Every structure is written in C-alpha cells, then in structure tokens.
Structure 1
C-alpha cells in the first residue's frame, strides 16, 4: 500500500510538472515538483525506498520529457541513492540541509543528463542561467514542501508500528 500511494503521488506531481509548472517558468526554466519530491523522499527514507522513488520518478520523467527511455531513470536512481547516503548523516528536521542539498542535486542531475546526452550525441538546450533558475525553484519548493514529505514518511512509519506490520 505504501508504494502504491507513493506512485500515485508521483503521477500527480508529474501532471503538475506538465500542466502548472510551465506557467510559473522564468526564461524557459521551471521547477520539477516530482524530482523535488523524489529527493526529499530519499533524504528521509531508507536505501530501498530511495532506489524505488528514483526509478519510478525517472521512468515517469522519461515517458514525458525525453526521446530516450532510461536516462532519467538511471540518473534519478543514482541521485536518490546519493541523497539517501547524505541523509544518513544529517539531522533531517532542519530545513536548510534539504534546501542546500536540493540546489546542488538539481545542478548535478542536469549536468549528468547533459553529459549522457553529449555522449549519445543528442542536443540538450539549457543554459547556465536556466540551470540556476531551476535549482533555485526546486530549492524553494523543497523549503515549502519538505515538512509535508517528512510528515508523510513518518506517518507511514507510525502506521506500520501501530498495526505491527513488517
């Protein structure tokens, strides 16, 4: 049930990414609610959940945003694993850590996708200015939304212990 709810949240966020986000874009750059959720979720949860959310969010992004399947799935999975590793050693209740992590991880994700596209001889049109705008946007969304993802993740843990589910 936990994963079904997470997948449904990802689908809703993908719809928001495709419908609402372009309207708040600046110079062709707009945030990714789905990627921000995946990073926040990975920061809070365990390694298996980080891989799961990375693959699911990446496949959804591949379906709607790129001509090649697997690039976003691979980069999101690896990035979510990295974020999980970072999350193991930080105090998760502080908002500044997720915000800074989101800023840096957004840049890393775009640079990773750009590198893969370059190797495959695909063209990707994004400027440094757009990259910074996306990173700032995603960081703002993380600042606002991290608390809700944190509560969502902890609520599931409480439900598990309350019902003694394994």
Structure 2
C-alpha cells in the first residue's frame, strides 16, 4: 500500500509540475516538486525506498521529456541513492542538510542530463540551473516537514554525522 500511495503522490506532483509550476517561473526557471519530493523522501527513508522513488519519479518525468526515455529514471535513481546515503547519518528533524542536499542534487541532475545529451549531440541549456536549485531548495524547506510526517520514521538518528 505504501508504494501505491507513493506512486499516486508522484503522479499528483508530476501533474502540478507540468501544469502549475510553469506559471510560477522566475526568468523561465521553475521548480520540480516531484524531484524535490523524491530527494527528500530518499533522505528520510533509506536506500530501498530511494531506489523505488528514484525510478518511479524518473520514469514519470521521462513521459514529458523529449529526446531520451530513461535519462531521468537513471539520473533520479542515482541521485536518490546518494541522497539516501547522506540521510543515513543525519538527524532527520533538522532541515539544513536535506535542503542543502536538494540544492546540490538539483545541480548534479542538471549537469548529468546536460552531459548525457551532449554525448548524444542534443542541445540543452544550463543557464537557469542556479535559479532552479534555489527554487527547489525553498520548496524543500517548506515541504520537508510534510515529507517527514508522511514517512513517519521512528528510527531517527540523534546526531549530525556522516558515516
């Protein structure tokens, strides 16, 4: 049931990403609610759930991504697994590391997609990458508490540390 709920939330966020978020753009850049949710969920829930949400969110994003099926699935999966590793060693009730991770993950994802498309001889622009990363971080700051409540994790680390 948990996975069905995750898929339904992901579909809802995808719809919002493609229908509402473009109207909230700043200099042509708008956040990805689905990607932000996937990274935050991965930080909180660990590698197994990160793998699932990474692939699901990536495949859903690939539906609306012209040029290459599977690119978002691959990049989201890898980034969510890295986020899960970061989340293993942090105190989950604090927002600093999760928000910073979303910022970094957004930049890494855009650069990874750019590199993949560069080798496939597609033209992709990176001019709004910093605005998107900041925008995703602001969304992460607001949404983190809700994702934490959704996850309802009882095994919360008590110290700020990395393994």
Report the counterpart of residue 136 of structure 1 in structure 2.
Answer: 134
- After TM superposition, give the deviation of residue 116 of structure 1 in Å: 0.6
CA distance in 1: counterparts of 2:19 and 2:126, whole angstroms: 20
Pairwise CA distance, 1:46: 2.1
Q: Following the alignment from structure 1 to structure 2, what is the Cα–Cα distance between the partners of residues 122 and 78?
A: 22
Q: Which one of 135, 146, 149 corresponds to residue 148 of structure 1? A: 146
CA contact (8 A) 2:58 2:76 kept: yes
Instruction: Mark the runs of 5 or more structure 2 residues left unpaired by the alignment.
Output: 155-163
Shift of 1:51: 0.4
Using the size of structure 2 for normalisation, the TM-score is: 0.92
Q: CA deviation at 1:125?
A: 2.2
Q: How far apart, in 1, do the equivalents of 2:66 and 2:142 lie?
A: 28
Q: Which residue of 1 aligns with 2:117?
A: 117
Deviation at 1:124, TM superposition (A): 0.8
Are 1:84 and 2:84 an aligned pair? yes
Measure the CA separation in 1 of the matches of 2:150 and 2:53.
14
User: What is the TM-score when the length of structure 1 is the normalising length?
Assistant: 0.90
1:48 corresponds to which residue?
48
Moved over 4 A (4+): none
More helix by share: 1
- What's the C-alpha RMSD, in Å, of the aligned pairs? 1.3
CA distance in 2, matches of 1:47, 1:100: 19
CA contact (8 A) 2:114 2:125 kept: no
